[in-house]
Amino acid sequence: MIDNRIKFRHLQTFVEVARQKSVMKAAELLHVSQPAVTKTIRELEEVLGVQVFERDGRGIKITRYGEVFLKHAGAALTALRQGLDSVTQERVGDAPPIRIGALPTVSTRIMPRAMELFLKENTWSRIKIVTGENAVLLEQLRVGDLDLVVGRLAGPEKMTGFSFEHLYSEQVVFVVRAGHPLLETKTSLFATLADFTVLMPTRASIIRPFVERLLITNGVASLPNQIETVSDSFGRAFVRSSDAVWIISKGVVAKDVEDKFLDILPIDTSETKGPVGLTMRNDTIPSLPLSILVQTIREAAGEVSYKT
């Protein structure tokens, strides 16, 4: 039997703290005070009879019991949002929103064509596309803030409760502006890499471990002058106006290379190749518009794979 002491605010607060891993950040997003967030979490723990968070240095982390409850709390909030969306749809004749998380490479290379195909289906659905790091997008998917993530396959420990459909494979490349001095160098590119500013994927990004292994394998222990970013707009602008080297997924810069604004350095990065595909929650039943969008993403990915 459902304990009637658990309210919507308990679930919403718990899920937001779990997602942000911070009481302060959750309080800011929920527009309440930190003591109010702490009180709500304590009330929830009293009802459940277990701790859902515990201290981790100066921060907090979710407990084993919290992980179990998070899956169901996220599903409950998702069901409530779907119910509200359905009522709104009946009231104003609007279609339910579809919320897609996409890596920068997918947003650049796949989603424009997928949306072009989807709009031809005239579902009149509202679409929300969020671009970010794979780990962040998967967490939003887990708690019900996204319906689908299009990105790289995460590690087994991150895929509990998810299903993955492979679409294509992609690797990392080292790109520079046209006419960059490294394009003419006769020495080892890895030996001179430390002489330049290097744009690196952030530590939370899914391609970061692949990049680090590649660098270490080729004798690059550290890069003294590096900038971590997942912003393709910043990376594109900065590299085109400087001598920086950008380490990024190939799909993000494919058009820039094709238009000869950027060049790929002749470095073997085949070991960074990894699967890109669709990740969904196992407990989600796709709506008809979402199913149609998934199919258009498959078609768009198929076109990219063919060109590649």
Q: What is the mean pLDDT of the chain?
A: 87
Higher pLDDT, 86 or 66: 66
Q: How confident is the model at residue 76 (pLDDT cuts 50, 70, 90)?
A: confident
User: Do residue 150 and residue 293 come from a single domain?
Assistant: yes
Would 164 be classed as within a structural domain? no
Please say if the pLDDT value at position 95 is more than 70: no
| Domain boundary pick from 74, 93, 112 | 93
User: Do residue 287 and residue 139 come from a single domain?
Assistant: yes
Which pLDDT value is given to residue 305?
60
Which pLDDT value is given to residue 173?
95
Please say if the pLDDT value at position 92 is more than 50: no
Would 163 be classed as within a structural domain? no
User: Do residue 149 and residue 225 come from a single domain?
Assistant: no
**What does the pLDDT average to over 264-273?**
93
| Domain boundary pick from 39, 71, 93 | 93
User: Do residue 267 and residue 183 come from a single domain?
Assistant: yes
Please say if the pLDDT value at position 1 is more than 60: no
Please say if the pLDDT value at position 179 is more than 90: yes
Would 17 be classed as within a structural domain? yes
**What does the pLDDT average to over 100-124?**
89
Would 66 be classed as within a structural domain? yes
Which pLDDT value is given to residue 58?
78
User: Do residue 191 and residue 49 come from a single domain?
Assistant: no
Q: Say which amino acid occupies 267.
A: I
**What does the pLDDT average to over 103-132?**
88
CATH number at residue 201: 3.40.190.10
User: Do residue 205 and residue 241 come from a single domain?
Assistant: yes
Q: Say which range, 76-85, 169-178, 294-303, has the weakest mean pLDDT.
A: 76-85
User: Do residue 260 and residue 193 come from a single domain?
Assistant: yes
Domain coverage including residue 152: 95-157+278-307
Please say if the pLDDT value at position 240 is more than 90: yes
Would 21 be classed as within a structural domain? yes
DSSP 280: E
Which pLDDT value is given to residue 126?
84
Would 253 be classed as within a structural domain? yes
Joined tokens for residue 261: 């604004």
Q: How confident is the model at residue 85 (pLDDT cuts 50, 70, 90)?
A: low
Is 262 within 8 Å of 253 (Cβ atoms)? Answer: yes
pTM reported for the whole predicted model? 0.63
Would 15 be classed as within a structural domain? yes
User: Do residue 152 and residue 282 come from a single domain?
Assistant: yes
pLDDT digits (tens, 9 = 90+) for 211-229: 999 999 999 988 889 999 9
Please say if the pLDDT value at position 162 is more than 60: yes
Q: Identify the CA nearest to 105 among candidates 144, 150, 136, 60.
A: 150
What is the number of structural domains in the chain?
3
Which pLDDT value is given to residue 307?
57
User: Do residue 30 and residue 87 come from a single domain?
Assistant: yes
Would 165 be classed as within a structural domain? no
Q: Please provide the distance, in angstroms rounded to a whole number, between the alpha carbons at the two ends of the chain.
A: 54
Higher pLDDT, 73 or 244: 244
Distance CA 87, CA 35 (A): 34
Among residues of the chain, what percentage have pLDDT more than 90? 47
pLDDT digits (tens, 9 = 90+) for 127-157: 999 988 888 899 899 988 999 999 999 888 8
Which pLDDT value is given to residue 300?
93
User: Do residue 185 and residue 38 come from a single domain?
Assistant: no
DSSP string of 203-263, one letter each residue: TTSTTHHHHHHHHHHTT----SSEEE---HHHHHHHHHTSS-EEEEEHHHHHHHHHTTSEE
| Domain boundary pick from 53, 73, 93 | 93
CATH number at residue 11: 1.10.10.10
Please say if the pLDDT value at position 165 is more than 90: yes
User: Do residue 151 and residue 282 come from a single domain?
Assistant: yes
User: Do residue 35 and residue 178 come from a single domain?
Assistant: no
pLDDT digits (tens, 9 = 90+) for 38-68: 999 999 999 889 999 998 877 889 999 999 8
Which pLDDT value is given to residue 87?
55
